[in-house]
Chains A and B, each alone.
Chain A
Amino acid sequence: MTCDEARILLHALLDNELDAGHAREVEGHIASCPDCAAELAAQGEMQRVLADTNLRYTAPASLRVRIEASLPQAPREQPTRRAVLRGFAMGSAVSALAASGVVAVVLRQDDQQRILSEVVSAHLRSLQAGHLTDVVSTDQHTVKPWFNGKLDVAPPVIDLTAQGFTLVGGRLDYIDARAIGAVVYRRRQHVINLFVSQTSSAEYRAPRTETMQGFNCRRWGNRGLNFWAVSDLGADELAEFVDKFEAAMKANVEG
């Protein structure tokens, strides 16, 4: 084997792309040629440095939104005339679920990831001018009825102004190919989107925080509903929001 050949093949050796026979030939040459041995060592070292460096780029969230928006979307469900939930309580949620015959949706892990990314995309879309709310009100008694008739299960709307989270309004959004409600809160300049969808599982799932594209998302399940709270707030403040929300829910149900 000549040095010229070895100078090409040593890369294939480094990349583990050579079959055993060729690998032996290259190694044989390198064992007897200090120049090629030095080149192999040098290239191997460069490869290690490159592997230790993050040379990838991350697609901007706006690009993801643009591509998502260009894909055909499922048509939004038409509002039904079915009896809608008035208040919100555990009993009514569960019976409404039974009445509407919603099929159990058990999510696999990768589905969870996909939905998380959809939730974050929906949060991003909502931040575009004029997209945040369909109904603007700081009054829970205005926001809550607005959802009625638009969704199978109206999301719980709780005013948390006294706890430091101002209710801003509500919006219909689209996650996992179905219409769901989003309740919008604000803390200082930070928007919190609380997405609520129904689930057939009534069991409690403890809140967990995940991070995607720089946003914190805390999701949990309770009373037959799945919740995702998304914001650019710090994880601790978002956790505080969820705690306050759950405490108020509990008080409402027991009250």
Chain B
Amino acid sequence: MPATDDVQKAQRFREAALPYLDDVYTLARYLLRDPSDAEDAVQECYLRALKHFDSYRGPAMKPWLFAILRNVCNAEYARRAHRPSATEDTPGAVEQTPLWQETEASPETEVLRNRDAGAIRKLIDALAEPFKETFVLREINNLSYREIAEVVGAPVGTVMSRLARARAMLRAAWTAEEEHSR
């Protein structure tokens, strides 16, 4: 039977951390792609977060959980890399060459057609790390540049350049696909 302190701590943790479950799961899905790997990572993230909840003094709960999740995911990348039959695209490979060539930005503004969420998610999924991570933290999880810098442990300047690159790559892939479908 757990001690009352543990129960109270779990209750405080539940109130503080569980409201962000969808946010954490969203990030996990983009980082790991595989739904069941994402579930495992999120559960592990919450276990670790509970363990360190006593020493939690901030930052805000959401970026704190993201930083923990990121560590969990990095461990998962390492595990995948050591797997005998590693798939050809390991998301952990830093500065990996994107699947497409970045085009020079065309001077005219092309109007992007609205796409269904599934198609856009695929384009985001295809972004190379660490650009994808930065992009998702900003565009989908709505973190500020400073918060992203804390989560990924990089200077704000690096966050800015990664984000610029991520958006340029995404837009290039998007317009390329639209031209292809024309």
Tally inter-chain residue pairs, CB-CB below 8 A. Answer: 121
Provide the residues of chain B in CB contact with A73, threshold 8 Å.
2, 7, 10
Inter-subunit contact A8/B13 (CB<8 Å): no
Mask, B9-41, CB within 8 Å of A = 1, is 111011100100111111001000000000100
Is A109 interfacial (CB-CB < 8 Å)? no
Is B66 interfacial (CB-CB < 8 Å)? no
Instruction: Give complex CA distance A8, B162 in Å.
Output: 9
Given contacts A8-B164, A73-B7, 6 further A-B contacts (CB under 8 A): A35-B105, A38-B106, A56-B22, A59-B21, A64-B21, A70-B47
A7-B164, A43-B171, A63-B25 known; A56 vs B140 contact (CB < 8 Å): yes
Count of chain A residues with Cβ under 8 Å from any Cβ of B?
43
Inter-subunit contact A41/B109 (CB<8 Å): yes
A8-B160, A17-B145, A57-B25 known; A45 vs B112 contact (CB < 8 Å): yes
Mask, A1-32, CB within 8 Å of B = 1, is 00000011111100101000000000000000
Cβ-defined partner of A15 (8 Å) among B15, B50, B145: B145
* CB pairs A–B below 8 angstroms (18 shown): A15-B138, A17-B145, A34-B107, A38-B109, A41-B109, A45-B109, A46-B167, A56-B22, A56-B26, A56-B140, A59-B22, A59-B24, A59-B39, A59-B42, A63-B43, A66-B39, A66-B43, A73-B10
Inter-subunit contact B115/A53 (CB<8 Å): yes
Provide the residues of chain A in CB contact with B114, threshold 8 Å.
49, 52-53
A38-B105, A49-B112, A67-B21 known; A177 vs B43 contact (CB < 8 Å): no
Q: Which residue of B lies closest to A176 (CB)?
A: B11
Inter-subunit contact A9/B160 (CB<8 Å): yes
Provide the residues of chain A in CB contact with B18, threshold 8 Å.
64, 67-68, 117
Instruction: Give complex CA distance A238, B45 in Å.
Output: 37
Inter-subunit contact A55/B120 (CB<8 Å): yes
B binding-site residues for A, Cβ under 8 Å: 1-2, 6-7, 9-11, 13-15, 18, 21-26, 29, 39, 42-43, 46-47, 50, 105-112, 114-117, 120-121, 124, 138-140, 144-145, 160-161, 163-164, 167-168, 170-171, 174
Provide the residues of chain A in CB contact with B50, threshold 8 Å.
71
Instruction: Give complex CA distance A43, B168 in Å.
Output: 8
Provide the residues of chain B in CB contact with A53, threshold 8 Å.
114-117, 120
Provide the residues of chain B in CB contact with A74, threshold 8 Å.
2, 7, 11
A7-B164, A63-B42 known; A42 vs B110 contact (CB < 8 Å): yes
Inter-subunit contact B109/A12 (CB<8 Å): no
Is A58 interfacial (CB-CB < 8 Å)? yes
> Smallest Cβ distance from B78 to chain A, in angstroms?
23
Cβ-defined partner of B170 (8 Å) among A35, A46, A58, A72: A46
Inter-subunit contact A75/B117 (CB<8 Å): no
A57-B25, A58-B25, A177-B7 known; A43 vs B167 contact (CB < 8 Å): yes
> Smallest Cβ distance from B137 to chain A, in angstroms?
12
